[in-house]
Amino acid sequence: MNNFSSPKYDEHRAAIEKLRNKGRDWEFIKFYGKYDEEGLQNKLEQLQEDDMIPLDLISPLWLDIVKFMRELEERVQAIEEKIANNRILSRRQDNDLTIPNGAASSWQLYKNKLIKQGWTDESVSDVENTTISILRKLRVETTEPIKGLTIGNVQSGKTASMAALMAMAADWEFNLFIVLSGTIDNLRKQTEDRLLDDLKISGNLSWERLSRLSLKSGSSHKVSSLLLNKGSRERYLNVCLKNKTRLNDLIHWLKEDGKKLSQMRILIIDDEADQGGINTNDVNDTAAERTALNKAIVGLVNIQANDGGKPLSMNYISYTATPYANFLNESSEESLYPRDFVAVLNPAKEYFGAKQIFGLENDEYYRGLPMVREITEDDRDLVNAIHKEEEFYLPKSFEDALHWFLLSTSIMRYRKYKKPISMLVHTSQKQSHHQVFADLINNYFRNTSKAKIIESCRELYAEELKKFTKEDFEMEFDVYPNKEDVKDYPPFEKIEDELKRLIRNRPSHINVLEETKRLEYHDGLHLCIDNCANNGVTEELDHVRLAYPDLKAPNYPAPAPAFIVIGGSTLSRGLTIEGLISTYFLRTTSQADTLLQMGRFFGYRKGYEMLPRIWLTTDTEEKFRFMATLEEELREDIETYILEGMDANEYGPKIKNSPKLTWLRITAKNRSQNAEQIDLDFSGTSSQSILFDNDSVIQRKNIEVTEHFLNRLGTANETRNNRGLYWKDVPFEQIKDEFFGKFEFSKQSMFANMEAFFDWYQKKETEAGFTSWNIVLSGTGKLDDEKKRKWVVGGRDVGLVTRSRRGAATGGKINIGVLRAPTDLYADMTEEMYKSIPDVYKPTQSGKAERAFLKDQLEEIDEKQPKKSVVNELRKAAGLGLTPQLLLYRIDQNSKFEGTQGENTSEANKRYDLNASEDLIGVSLFVPGYRSGKNLATKLSIRIDNPIGESETGEGEE
């Protein structure tokens, strides 16, 4: 049987991949669009005449390779689907609840609403599967509260997940739903209105709003009036501000009637759980009081009536996109630590998240969409001067952001888009600064002629159409569904009339009609200053704060209303900015979780995917990219724990260390009090050197060290793909002394200080069960290929690999961006190991879901770096689950960059010929992941000072 994954068929597969990459389905590819094998053969002969495919690629071989590749793709998808559907970290036994299927059930009504809103079948199915998985970890009767955590993404639809869980739980007789929402009332109200709109649909159940619950007069309800008996169709929702007074009022209200309390099946959802409720007092001082807000939440979760009555069930679930404080603060029995389960939400494929917008560090697959524009240092200084009222004109970058908003609004109106369209200006928390910028915007429109504005827009439009093209979108966001439906830019002439209409009058606040107090919207620009200084209507009958019109209202404005929104804290977290297409963001913070939550530009952009733009400093852009990488690695860690069958109370995240943490804390210091600076855990480490000193003396020495080390390892084995060599069962001490002890890394490299790793490995090697190491020398082309520039090692000729330089064409430091090819992590598998991997690998441990791990995954030809969890499982299935791997490369100093890059490619991401003074030795380290039930750190640990550099996963490196 032919091995179609071998290099022998590289060109054959490439011909088929070319069709697949063009979006052709497998039925078309099978006969190349013809009717039968005879038509296929004729087509292949034409291609051979044009020298486009190998001469031996005849129709029977084509059909066999197509079958192989189709099955491979389907099996890879099956792996990813299995992993995607297993999103709960918990050993807690599931209850026997099922998905409600009655047409009038709360869940089915909500599900239908999602479908009507345009959710894809895949997204609805994912919400349903994740929701029932969470629901099965809850309890309809409890003696002790259930505590869980659900991790979403910023602006990714967490509210939809909450509504889905509430709907399903309501169908199973949960009857009181308490949502703790925000520290600002307009965000609380937005959440309350949204949830009621989602849930209050005529069906089997009747939903009722409970507002401002208190024993004081004026409360909307008395607890004694609630209908809570078994079989009652009433369901109650209270959205409570995270305010100690409001929470304590709620607690006193609930405790008043023990009989009613004992009928309650309570589900508490703590929205943005890392905000407000974290105990920031000294958690290690047993005598210390909890902070008032945290104490109130803990009191609510452990509520008991004055007469001793307790709820029939109590389930507390925290929701957040930035869970670092939740994990790192405290984990005592009394605390809110999610000891029962951790769930991970999948955003829909249409989601514009941090990794889609900013890319991931050291990941060529996620490079980021070219929609980010720079605020220069000069413009940043000018903004600071504007805040101090020392300068009185807008920076060039701000004018660009403003003009782009005008252009994009005109495009969306030209396309008959109906919902609100927004620009966000976020430069400061201070209310006085907000007013200064509002005045400058007004002055700009007052003092600039309409003709000049239109001409400036025309020039910017021509530039932007080159910087971010439809081709860029399709290449950088290849998972986006139905990319063919994404609209390209119309000609400027098509939108010019809409642009003139938009700027016909100067911006103004939202007008309030005197008689009806109704807000009146117009077809120009609404200028909103959203802060607490503008809570009322002015004497001029202006509504200054942001207020979007109700899309269902009979007087909804046309064309789509446009808003320039200036603000600070009220726009920093949770609040959705509708139709956000232009963001001017110049805020600084030393807390990573706060920074990520400020990203109002994350979310869904259905119908205007090509239009969003974000203006930032390069420093802030770098922080967002770091946070995107951190977020991705946290999710991969949890996924690995899930696949290993570990429990939530065994989970202590290992947060990536980086030089950036000298200026960026993961979360506030008093919110991460259980973060330890000792007892690091390097299991699951997957790191690669990408930074090199362009010093021929150093690199020559490294080549000699590596040659000496490899030649002393004995007889080498050929890698299965015949491109390199590997040695097995090499003792760690030999690697440590003969290679790492003599090799010289760049001081910026993560390998520059390996002592912490050596200490950990020697302490934990036996406990972890690690075997001796496998050493792999990766090459290109076939071994002993005379056509390749080669390196003679162990009597064999290994082809040198090629890598390009990133960020600068010359210089004393070389950054190659990425070293390791995805399949290199499987290069030390023998043919026998490969054949021994079953088509389906079924874990025997009770309670684990079936998982598919297919040997064909080993040969996936893809730029995408494989997930750490998949690598761990495939190596385990091949018998290498406890075998660490050291991968080595000799990189040709004369490597040429042969790819393409657009005009919009940022300088930091541009590629050049390697132009090195000597060949480089690249090093990759892979340490097996977690063993079930084993936490290879003595304590839950994170180290955030004295960090080292560039790790792919950064598993607790020092």
Give the per-residue pLDDT at 647.
67
pLDDT band at residue 678 using 50, 70 and 90 as cut-offs: very low
**SS3 of residue 144 by DSSP:** coil
For residues 149 and 611, the model is more confident at: 611
Beta-carbon contacts of residue 741 (< 8 Å; ≥ 6 apart): none
Neighbours of 577 (CB within 10 A): 23
**121-135 vs 106-116: helix axis angle to the nearest 10?**
150
Give the C-alpha separation, 398 to 396, whole Å: 5
Tens-digit pLDDT profile for residues 871-922? 777 788 788 889 999 999 999 999 998 877 766 666 667 889 999 999 999 9
Higher pLDDT, 633 or 666: 633
pLDDT at 504: 94
- Select from 120, 122, 237 the least CA-distant residue to 178: 237
Q: Which amino acid is at 513?
A: L
* pLDDT above 70: residue 253: yes
Tokens 């406990």, residue located? 767
CA distance 632 to 638: 10
Sole residue written with tokens 């000799």: 890
* Peptide bond between residue 559 and the one before it cis (omega within 30 degrees of 0): yes
> Is the predicted pLDDT of residue 215 greater than 60, yes or no?
yes
Closest CA to 352 of 580, 595, 605: 605
Residue 939: pLDDT over 60:
no
Taking a C-beta distance cutoff of 8 angstroms, is the pair 910, 370 a contact?
A: no
For the ranges 88-92, 377-381, 600-604, 728-732, the lowest mean pLDDT is seen at 88-92
Model confidence at 236, in pLDDT bands (50, 70, 90)? very high
Using alpha carbons only, how large is the chain's radius of gyration in Å? Answer: 30
Retrieve residue 310's tokens.
């307790």
* Distance between CA atoms of residues 281 and 293, nearest Å: 11
Q: What is the pLDDT of residue 134?
A: 93
CA dihedral 39, 44, 45, 46 (to 10 degrees): 90
Q: Which range has the worst mean pLDDT, 362-371, 452-461, 519-528, 737-746?
A: 362-371
pLDDT for res 799: 92
- Pairing state between β 686-688 and 920-926: antiparallel
Angle at 795 between CA 792 and CA 798, to 5 degrees: 40
Does residue 2 have a pLDDT over 80?
no
Instruction: Report whether 727 contacts 716 (CB < 8 A).
Output: yes
Q: Quick check: 948 and 689 in contact, CB under 8 A?
A: no
pTM listed for this prediction: 0.70
The whole-number average pLDDT for the span 671-692 is 63
Place of tokens 């003396």: 697
Lowest-pLDDT range of 336-345, 393-402, 410-419: 336-345
The reported pLDDT for the residue numbered 705 is 96
pLDDT in tens, 649-660: 665 554 444 434
Identify whether the C-beta of residue 916 lies closer than 8 Å to the C-beta of residue 813: no
Greater pLDDT, 588 or 810: 810
**pLDDT over 50 (residue 855):** no
Maximum C-alpha span of the chain: 93
Phi, psi of 792 (to 5 degrees): -85, 115
Confidence band (pLDDT; 50, 70, 90) for 631? Answer: confident
Give me the mean pLDDT over the 197-208 stretch.
94
Q: How confident is the model at residue 665 (pLDDT cuts 50, 70, 90)?
A: very low
Contact between residue 602 and residue 154 where contact means Cβ atoms under 8 Å apart = yes
Alpha-carbon gap, residue 795 to 784, rounded angstroms: 10
pLDDT band at 851 (very low <50, low <70, confident <90, very high): very low
Distance CA 491, CA 671 (A): 51
- Residue percentage of the chain with pLDDT more than 70: 81
CA distance 500 to 481: 34
181 token code pair: 């929402």
Alpha carbon distance 31, 26 (integer Å): 9
* pLDDT for position 672: 41
User: Which pLDDT value is given to residue 946?
Assistant: 26
The pLDDT value given to residue 807: 81
Model confidence at 955: pLDDT above 70: no
- pLDDT bracket for residue 841 (50, 70, 90): very low
- Kindly list the distances between the CA atom of residue 856 and the CA atoms of 397, 457, 645, in Å, as whole numbers in the listed order: 50, 52, 25
Q: Tell me, what's the pLDDT at 756?
A: 76
Q: What share of the chain is helix, strand, coil (3-state, %, to 5)?
A: 35, 15, 50
Residues linked to residue 911 through DSSP beta bridges, in sequence order = 806
> Average pLDDT for residues 228-249, to the nearest whole number?
93
Q: What does the mean pLDDT of the chain come to?
A: 82
Per-residue pLDDT, averaged over 325-344, amounts to 70
Query: Is residue 278 over pLDDT 70?
Result: no
Both tokens of 777, joined, read 């020398």
Number of H helices, E strands in the chain: 26, 31
> Left (φ > 0), alpha (ψ -120 to 50) or beta: where does 841 sit?
beta
The whole-number pLDDT of residue 586 equals 87
SS3 string of 222-283?
CHHHCCCCCCCCEEEEEEECCCHHHHHHHHHHHHCCHHHHCCCEEEEEEECCCCCCCCCCCC
Q: Is the pLDDT of residue 93 over 70?
A: yes
The angle at the Cα of 339, spanning 182 to 353, to the nearest 5 degrees, equals 50
What backbone torsions phi and psi does residue 698 show, to the nearest 5 degrees? -60, -45
Query: Long-range contacts made by residues 279-282, C-beta under 8 angstroms, separation at least 24?
Result: 279/329, 279/330, 279/335, 280/668, 280/670, 280/671, 281/670, 282/673
238 bridge partner residues: 178
Contacts of 449 (CB under 8 A, 6+ apart): none
Residue 417 pLDDT grade (very low, low, confident, very high; cuts 50, 70, 90): very high
Q: Minimal CA–CA distance to 738: which of 716, 765, 710, 760?
A: 710
Tell me the CA distances in angstroms from 809 to 802, 912, 914, one per residue in order: 16, 5, 8
Question: Phi and psi of 693, rounded to 5°?
Answer: -85, 130
